Amino acid sequence: MHELTPEQRRDFEAAAFRRLVDHLRQRSDVQNIDLMNLAGFCRNCLSNWYREAAEAEGVALSKEESREIIYGMPYAEWQARYQTEASPEKMAAFEVNRPRDH
């Protein structure tokens, strides 16, 4: 395996994160509940992790601010544009698979 400097690792991780966020913005057809049921995380999880990382560095971000960073728009706007009602089957799967911190 190639030996990476800490700076390279940070830069590559940041680039991968930005690409993931961009991909999720492009795929607004994919609902958060589908992500949660399949992968165990969603856009809201990413925004929480982002906010926690900022807070660990002494930067206070609100829940709304971190969500806007991930969604590329205010969360309420994203919900109005793209969020659909989850089926009872998806909700039941979510209840079974929901992480403790969600």
Phi-psi region of 81 (alpha: psi -120 to 50; beta: other; left: phi over 0): alpha
Q: Is residue 57 part of a domain?
A: yes
| pLDDT mean across residues, the chain | 95
> 33 near 42, Cβ under 8 Å?
yes
Q: Is residue 77 part of a domain?
A: yes
Q: Which CATH number fits the domain that encloses residue 49?
A: 1.10.3340.10
How many domains is the chain built from?
1
Question: Residue 87's domain spans which residues?
Answer: 6-97
Q: Is residue 1 part of a domain?
A: no
Give the percent of the chain with pLDDT over 90.
Answer: 89
Mean pLDDT of 37-44: 94
Provide the whole-model pTM. 0.89
- Coil/strand/helix, residue 57: coil
pLDDT at 102 exceeding the cut of 70: no
Over residues 45-91, the pLDDT tens digits come to 999 999 999 999 999 999 999 999 999 999 999 999 999 999 999 99
Q: Is residue 102 part of a domain?
A: no
